[in-house]
Chain A
Amino acid sequence: MKFLCVECDRQMTFEERQLPGDGTLAAAFRCPKCGRAVALLTNPMETQLVSSLGVKIGGATVPAEPLETIRGMVATGRDDAFTDDRQPTTGNSPAWSTEAQDRLSRVPGFVRGMVKKIYADYAKERGIDEITPAVMDAARSELGLEEM
């Protein structure tokens, strides 16, 4: 999938992705010559097809997790299918506030370990000592984790 600014005969470059949370996706592309922007809007079926391929429009924002597509997409997974006690990739684990722990506990067990690791890595990379719901919201928006 590529976009061409026909007037300038230049390939448009990816600029921004938005996941409004209703299963749709918006991706903006801009012409590097004239600056004109266009938005690609996909319906839920099209969004799902892209997700099923394990690719992300705009590129990956975090390193791929083991079995990421399976853990992110299977709706009938066993809560205790995985033992996932990994710590952040570097340094010590950030603390979790009570509210953040409560929110994390509501994530299905099938995917919880992966989600926890992603939030912990996000906080660690930004020097955040405590993960709160606000940090989780920021990570979801910044990393494009709306589906988690």
Chain B
Amino acid sequence: MPLNIRTYHELTEPDRSGLGEQIATQRRRLAARLAAVGRVIVVMSGKGGVGKSFVTAHLARALARAGRAVGVLDADLNGPTVAGLLEAGTARLVVGEDAVLPATGSDGVRLVSMAQLLADGQPLAFKGPPAESFVWRGAAEAGAIRELLADVAWGPLDVLLLDLPPGMQRFLELCDLLPAPPAVLTVTIPTPESRDAVRRALRAATERRSPLLGVVENMVDGPFAGTAGADLAVEFGVPVLARIPWHPTPDTWAVLAGRLG
């Protein structure tokens, strides 16, 4: 005869472990930290090597030069590059009472990156059992992103830009962590291969109800042929915010910053 076992949700007695409440506390801490941030924008692409970090860094600088308070979180934990582009790759982070102070990069952009935390040339490695590390590594990386958002004293910001790694995983993690789906700025190069990869990313963003700000087409007028930017803009009903040439000028970034508002 089967045992009569109540389900998980039917057990409501108080418990000292309170794992669910610990998670809820983490989420509240993150939401409180970002309460003074006007807009959270993820810079993403389904494709690697299209220049997300390059666009992030220069957009951040242009916004800062326009008088905005700007922060950048390098969410590419395994290939952090934006800190170097903002000339803060080796800045020490000062630990305060309840938060770490972000470094200050070019044009006053506030920045935190794994590049500042990792030993020179070392990959991001976690302590723990190496066997079957795929089981817990994703959770560890998501936990690291949560802390970089919640435990950094970002202060009042007009914009917090998140530079994402290629693919969709980090975006989905952020949708789970953030109080609301982040706005999405998509970067592509002109090729049809890039278009097809970025299309998947935009569909995922649409399914998560993230506001789509528009497409930045990078590396135009060079060896990459195609109309990915225009194609994606039509398909998703969003603007092409900028077509970035091989050798952009400060004006290029100022125009992009102006279009983001």
Contact = CB atoms under 8 A, between A and B. Distances in A.
Interface string B186-227: 000000000000000000000000000000000000000000
A74 B123 CA distance: 10
Given A2-B8, A54-B146, A60-B22, A77 B16 contact: no
Given A9-B6, A74-B125, A53 B135 contact: no
B136 A45 contact: yes
Interface residues of B, number: 54
A14 B6 contact: no
Contacts of B124: 74, 76
Nearest to A56: B22
A138 interface: no
B13 A76 contact: no
Interface in B112-155: 116-120, 122-129, 131-132, 135-137, 139-140, 142-144, 146-148, 151-152
Given A67-B147, A69-B143, A77 B128 contact: no
Contact of A77 (B96, B118, B143): B118
Category for how many chain A residues contact B: 35 or more
A77 B15 contact: no
Contacts of A78: 116-120
A134 interface: no
B135 A45 contact: yes
A82 B90 CA distance: 11
A45 B147 contact: no
Interface stretch (B63-71, B97-105, B167-175, B238-246): B97-105
A55 interface: yes
> Which 6 pairs from chain A and chain B are nearest by CB?
A52-B139, A76-B122, A44-B129, A52-B140, A84-B95, A48-B128
24 contacts: A2-B15, A4-B5, A13-B15, A45-B136, A52-B140, A52-B143, A54-B143, A55-B26, A56-B17, A58-B16, A58-B17, A59-B17, A59-B18, A60-B22, A66-B147, A70-B117, A73-B140, A74-B124, A75-B125, A75-B127, A76-B118, A77-B119, A78-B118, A81-B93
Interface of B: 3-6, 8, 11-13, 15-19, 22-23, 26, 29, 92-100, 116-120, 122-129, 131-132, 135-137, 139-140, 142-144, 146-148, 151-152
